[in-house]
Structure 1
């Protein structure tokens, strides 16, 4: 009986390989890699130490057989050249230096004449010794969705073999996409037993001849382990991703003057009338530039107020914008239900009911907790208005949690708690990361009051995350903040399960990243590398959610600074932050090419010279800014500056570091800080605002083991550092 139906391109693979002679063999740790030519395909068959095989299709002949195959061997690398009637192939099989069993195959193709390619099979097929491919079985833990990373993580369970983490370096295919106007979305995945990369076909625009294009650049990590528990899936996924990440070709991160940008944003935000609506004599920020139809929302006010307060504390300045934002917060508290509400009460009649949540007293489950979290963060910074609003509302949040038994729907009525929409999609359940968000605000309430009941509430909510790994993720920023809160729960309780839950949250965050550069179409104008998508199925990356993930991951490393966490996170989190520093600036329209910005906007208007970010960045063949120019994302610069720039008044200088740091301390003639990354990768430090003649008197050194060593100076005032370790700045 056939368990898994297969296509003709898979049905004969086992017998084709069995009837073919091996061309060469290569040993990788305890694995054997064997090359076969089966006519229309070149296969690299991996044999596991204890039995079991999986085949990787290195090249596909497209209705033509391979001939004239040559093999050239070097240390840790094999070059295979082959030809068909249609074109020429060049395949490099390499064994990157790694403690894990990793191999890479890069395949290039050059057509003999212009070609339309209407079909291409996937490149991974599990094999058996004597049975049939369609009767094998396995578990796909995760795969590419939309334009996210071209990754696939699966385990082969029948026969019991082990697991594979597969990563396509999609950046390498950008020239092909540019030439044929195709996209790399949804190219890595499949269903058992037909898995892997399905080369994006060009059925309409032919591939030019006489030009060589990379058509696959795959990194494959092999393991005999098969994860069984949720935390094992998460930790192994993060570990394997970090291993491959260190081997990837990576673009040079962009640099940006965020201090100058923060001043531009502050000026434009305060003076541009399209950012504001006035109600009863009080100014409120619009959600989008020129959006006067949608009533004012509490989330929008707080999304700018919190980072603005952080920035003004850093700069030592004052600004009337802070008072304008704070003076209108109290109106969002509804005394009837004893809680803050989403919409300005005086404007509820203006809700147009065009969306499910644009109705009176309708609450999106995550949306209640997000403003409460920002209120609590402000309260911990000494804001009494925020503290009052938070503590006056927190019991309503507890009432809602208990009513839904810590399993929140998507939409409910705030007055009656009637469920208006139970699931995100049929059979998918509600917003599954909300227990983490709720636990986070309970933890913040405990910090503000010392009342243990809040810790008990957090524990009850977190039980709802059992049985989930990647499905915890609903909204990127909430999931990332929940991860940081879970570390704090671990420190408070000493229970390892909370640390494991934090890994599950972060696995969901990194699974929703785009670790490749979309260097085709409009994508040539935006640095996509290591962007994060706001939702599981979102078709675009979004400015505000990226900012909040950036802030949450900073908080995660701060919260975990004195505990041992998964080493993979010391690689992935700092690298996300490094690339975010340059990427986030490109959400501002003045830094984008005019042609990539959409002429049609869903909400409000786009002012291309205004330093307010676009909400949405799409795939390279789609224009961006279709949702609108989001005022609530204007806190980008305000949040970034205090986390990456550090003042040294004694020098009248500023230190910029492109990695997350902790424990920045100043002395009379020195300053020290701790880099929170890994020694595997590098960070950069820049001294800003110093005249050139002062630079020779300043020394930058980093502690290696127990001794400080001078940092490598790449250019005047610019230094390369190891990703981890204590750094010392001294001056005379």
Structure 2
């Protein structure tokens, strides 16, 4: 048991007295909701069918007592207004409905004078059915880290009472954070049984007199089911998160000129700031103007693959592709019989200031990522990539066997001695590398048709089950793991692999930012549905997000014959839609100069260069502190081929911000199916590329009430439509 604060310790005494009168009672399936106002606190008491209680502090003042000035039933639930010494609280309680029983409470405050709030207690205490908090037992499976979603996913173990997803809509706190200079990051947390949300402390800046603003907007999703295995927990978490997601406010999206951004990025990729010349060969820098770090194979391949994707889509000749390809063989180490992270001929130039910046030290995933991309190139018919891949594959397998598919963070490539075993004490190494390795072996099987590689992939994949929600090490590698596991399911029919792919998706979804930060510098960019690259990273990153985006696109394509969970289809389509919206803000020309960091860790930041920043932060921090990452240059080259669909023999492009499947066109007709969920919609735009008279486009979405969807003509010769998710679309003209 954990020690408690006085605010949590008082809960048992308050409810044990059994003298408080209920203001409101509501039956929600097998749950009973009761509302009390006891001296200085408005309480919601949620009685779970197994006997446990979730007791919520919906409004609180540290001194005196509340005076109830309004209490009324509403069509949605209940509303109460409370007067205290320096203002008013108003709390509304509603029951959104859906797949799970849900309770939503929103509390706003109006001040009667300028007000500081230096402390707020957490708003959720879990107790047994008598209000005793020392006899309740449970597990916090997931909790907010930094600026990620303000959520906690809980198992209510003893007495066995199911599961609970607590979600604080942090978007509602923007005005409070702007006024007080505070951050919504890290506001949901605590230790069992005193958990939930605590309003960030306002110490230096006060809330002005007469101001009305929201202090809390929380949704609790409830389930009597209590999964015990990791796969069951992952599926329940995804289902509950998707159910809550339907009720969250979401920012609007726009169609950005991604083809134009792509051309600017392609031009600026030729900048000398992006290249290093060595022994007659040009190599991409990792960061703009970073000439001190030797070239890395991962960097070359991370840019090359999106360029190849775009070339296959456009047919456009890009000399930069051949420049990068020519340098690939120089990363092969003849002694080790494998490709390496850094250019072998320049390892002596490493600064050795950090563990990974020493000769022959490998960061575990840095071997497998280039191997994956080399094999993808080989599958496209590149003989140079095929030769490098097959020559390096035995070493890759040797390393996997040496570490028993459980990789450390850093190891010596010559001796396989562990240099750094864990990311932090008791957290283990790079846990999702097993899935990345499995995908490499699956591609090797596709390339060679040798079944031993399929068996090897299975051995690695099975080790992921033990990792649970801690599987996520780096977002793009977790997404690659999901692809590998889905492919194993398709090849073997073993449901375990499909469930493990859901575990990977859950790992990604616990690391997203499901709120729109709109204070400080964040007024200039979108944050909604950003994915953080690492479990503890304080920023979202262009390169990892682009690769997660591309991998999850591929996952959905692979899964067309699979009965995917609706929650997975919904969440992945929405992530993709908002990535297409947000990613433009990684480019410095789209940001005001004052929000770019003056101090840069790697190289320099050129605010006029269309090369993506690595790092976007919470609204109070400047961005670009790490640098302008050349290896993030693939963002636009990944988006355009996946979201602009070409109509054969017509000067027409069809843009959709959802992923689509089955796109076909013939003559003056195009058909496809949108991804996602029919309860949500996406943006579709028809782009006419010539100057001829605009034809009449008829759009039929089978799920709409009338069938035909009406579009809006834009000034730029484009017609915009809103169409449902998971719907067959037919366009004729």
TM-score for the superposition, normalised by structure 2: 0.97
Aligned residues of 1:379 and 1:386 also touching (Cα < 8 A):
yes
Question: 1:60 maps to what in 2?
Answer: 60
Question: 2:27 maps to what in 1?
Answer: 27
Equivalent-residue separation in structure 2 for 1:695 and 1:490 (angstroms)? 47
Superposed displacement of residue 702, structure 1: 2.7
Give 3-state SS (helix, strand or coil) of 2:104's partner: strand
- 1:12 equivalent among 1, 5, 10: 10
The one-character-per-residue Cα deviations of 1:76-95 (angstroms, maximum 9, x if unpaired) are 23221001112110111112
Equivalent-residue separation in structure 2 for 1:504 and 1:243 (angstroms)? 18
Give 3-state SS (helix, strand or coil) of 2:357's partner: coil
Question: 1:40 maps to what in 2?
Answer: 40
Question: 1:718 maps to what in 2?
Answer: 720
The residue correspondences of 1:491-530 to structure 2 (distance < 5 A) are 491-530=490-529
Aligned residues of 1:714 and 1:720 also touching (Cα < 8 A):
no
Superposed displacement of residue 264, structure 1: 0.4
Equivalent-residue separation in structure 2 for 1:430 and 1:74 (angstroms)? 52
Structure 1 position 211 matched with structure 2 position 214:
no
From the superposition, tell whether residues 131 and 612 of structure 1 become closer, same or farther in structure 2 (CA, over 3 Å). closer
Give 3-state SS (helix, strand or coil) of 1:357's partner: helix
The one-character-per-residue Cα deviations of 1:686-711 (angstroms, maximum 9, x if unpaired) are 11125697544332223449x99323
Equivalent-residue separation in structure 2 for 1:79 and 1:714 (angstroms)? 40
Structure 1 position 407 matched with structure 2 position 406:
yes
Superposed displacement of residue 132, structure 1: 2.3
The residue correspondences of 1:344-383 to structure 2 (distance < 5 A) are 344-383=343-382
Aligned residues of 2:51 and 2:128 also touching (Cα < 8 A):
no
Question: 1:238 maps to what in 2?
Answer: 238
The residue correspondences of 1:303-382 to structure 2 (distance < 5 A) are 303-382=302-381
Question: 2:418 maps to what in 1?
Answer: 419
Give 3-state SS (helix, strand or coil) of 2:466's partner: coil
Aligned residues of 1:291 and 1:603 also touching (Cα < 8 A):
yes
Superposed displacement of residue 612, structure 1: 0.3
Equivalent-residue separation in structure 2 for 1:347 and 1:431 (angstroms)? 26
Give 3-state SS (helix, strand or coil) of 1:469's partner: helix
Equivalent-residue separation in structure 2 for 1:685 and 1:269 (angstroms)? 30
From the superposition, tell whether residues 53 and 715 of structure 1 become closer, same or farther in structure 2 (CA, over 3 Å). farther
Question: 1:274 maps to what in 2?
Answer: 273
Give 3-state SS (helix, strand or coil) of 1:328's partner: helix
Question: 1:221 maps to what in 2?
Answer: 221
Equivalent-residue separation in structure 2 for 1:337 and 1:355 (angstroms)? 23
Superposed displacement of residue 58, structure 1: 0.7
Aligned residues of 1:286 and 1:300 also touching (Cα < 8 A):
yes
The one-character-per-residue Cα deviations of 1:163-211 (angstroms, maximum 9, x if unpaired) are 1111111011010000000111111121111010011111222222210
Question: 2:189 maps to what in 1?
Answer: 189
From the superposition, tell whether residues 425 and 694 of structure 1 become closer, same or farther in structure 2 (CA, over 3 Å). same
Structure 1 position 161 matched with structure 2 position 161:
yes
Superposed displacement of residue 726, structure 1: 2.2
Superposed displacement of residue 111, structure 1: 2.1
Equivalent-residue separation in structure 2 for 1:125 and 1:69 (angstroms)? 27
Question: 2:660 maps to what in 1?
Answer: 661
Give 3-state SS (helix, strand or coil) of 1:456's partner: helix
Give 3-state SS (helix, strand or coil) of 1:697's partner: coil
From the superposition, tell whether residues 704 and 81 of structure 1 become closer, same or farther in structure 2 (CA, over 3 Å). closer
From the superposition, tell whether residues 438 and 136 of structure 1 become closer, same or farther in structure 2 (CA, over 3 Å). same
Superposed displacement of residue 148, structure 1: 0.1
Superposed displacement of residue 109, structure 1: 1.0
Aligned residues of 1:483 and 1:501 also touching (Cα < 8 A):
yes
Aligned residues of 2:34 and 2:46 also touching (Cα < 8 A):
yes
Equivalent-residue separation in structure 2 for 1:102 and 1:131 (angstroms)? 21
Equivalent-residue separation in structure 1 for 2:622 and 2:472 (angstroms)? 27
The one-character-per-residue Cα deviations of 1:50-109 (angstroms, maximum 9, x if unpaired) are 533211111011223211342121212322100111211011111224232112111011
Aligned residues of 1:40 and 1:62 also touching (Cα < 8 A):
yes
Moved more, 589-598 or 62-71: 62-71
Equivalent-residue separation in structure 2 for 1:700 and 1:420 (angstroms)? 59
Equivalent-residue separation in structure 2 for 1:505 and 1:68 (angstroms)? 48
Equivalent-residue separation in structure 2 for 1:159 and 1:97 (angstroms)? 25
Superposed displacement of residue 318, structure 1: 0.3
Aligned residues of 1:231 and 1:504 also touching (Cα < 8 A):
yes
Question: 1:730 maps to what in 2?
Answer: 732
Equivalent-residue separation in structure 2 for 1:67 and 1:668 (angstroms)? 71
From the superposition, tell whether residues 129 and 482 of structure 1 become closer, same or farther in structure 2 (CA, over 3 Å). closer
Moved more, 157-166 or 472-481: 157-166
The one-character-per-residue Cα deviations of 1:10-56 (angstroms, maximum 9, x if unpaired) are 11112213331111212222322111112121001112235332111
From the superposition, tell whether residues 131 and 89 of structure 1 become closer, same or farther in structure 2 (CA, over 3 Å). closer
Aligned residues of 1:333 and 1:389 also touching (Cα < 8 A):
yes
The one-character-per-residue Cα deviations of 1:520-558 (angstroms, maximum 9, x if unpaired) are 011111100000000000011100000001001101100
Equivalent-residue separation in structure 2 for 1:4 and 1:181 (angstroms)? 32
The one-character-per-residue Cα deviations of 1:268-326 (angstroms, maximum 9, x if unpaired) are 111x1111110001111100001000000001111111101111221111021111111
TM-score for the superposition, normalised by structure 1: 0.97
What is the Cα-based RMSD across aligned positions, in Å?
A: 1.6
Superposed displacement of residue 581, structure 1: 0.4
Equivalent-residue separation in structure 1 for 2:26 and 2:616 (angstroms)? 43
From the superposition, tell whether residues 131 and 207 of structure 1 become closer, same or farther in structure 2 (CA, over 3 Å). closer
The one-character-per-residue Cα deviations of 1:384-417 (angstroms, maximum 9, x if unpaired) are 2212111111111100001111111111111111
The residue correspondences of 1:230-629 to structure 2 (distance < 5 A) are 230-270=230-270, 272-629=271-628
From the superposition, tell whether residues 65 and 715 of structure 1 become closer, same or farther in structure 2 (CA, over 3 Å). farther
Equivalent-residue separation in structure 1 for 2:427 and 2:405 (angstroms)? 16
From the superposition, tell whether residues 347 and 692 of structure 1 become closer, same or farther in structure 2 (CA, over 3 Å). closer
From the superposition, tell whether residues 650 and 708 of structure 1 become closer, same or farther in structure 2 (CA, over 3 Å). farther
Question: 2:680 maps to what in 1?
Answer: 681
Structure 2: 5+ residue stretches without partners: none
Give 3-state SS (helix, strand or coil) of 2:246's partner: helix
Aligned residues of 1:424 and 1:431 also touching (Cα < 8 A):
yes
Moved more, 126-135 or 431-440: 126-135
Moved more, 707-716 or 318-327: 707-716
Question: 1:143 maps to what in 2?
Answer: 143
Moved more, 434-443 or 457-466: 457-466
Moved more, 80-89 or 672-681: 672-681
Equivalent-residue separation in structure 1 for 2:246 and 2:131 (angstroms)? 38
Superposed displacement of residue 714, structure 1: 4.2
From the superposition, tell whether residues 715 and 123 of structure 1 become closer, same or farther in structure 2 (CA, over 3 Å). farther
The one-character-per-residue Cα deviations of 1:130-182 (angstroms, maximum 9, x if unpaired) are 46212321111101011000011102222222211111110110100000001
Aligned residues of 1:67 and 1:84 also touching (Cα < 8 A):
yes
The residue correspondences of 1:76-115 to structure 2 (distance < 5 A) are 76-115=76-115
Question: 2:200 maps to what in 1?
Answer: 200
The one-character-per-residue Cα deviations of 1:447-481 (angstroms, maximum 9, x if unpaired) are 11110111111111112112222111000000011
Superposed displacement of residue 364, structure 1: 0.6
Equivalent-residue separation in structure 2 for 1:243 and 1:68 (angstroms)? 33
Aligned residues of 1:254 and 1:579 also touching (Cα < 8 A):
no
Equivalent-residue separation in structure 2 for 1:518 and 1:425 (angstroms)? 29
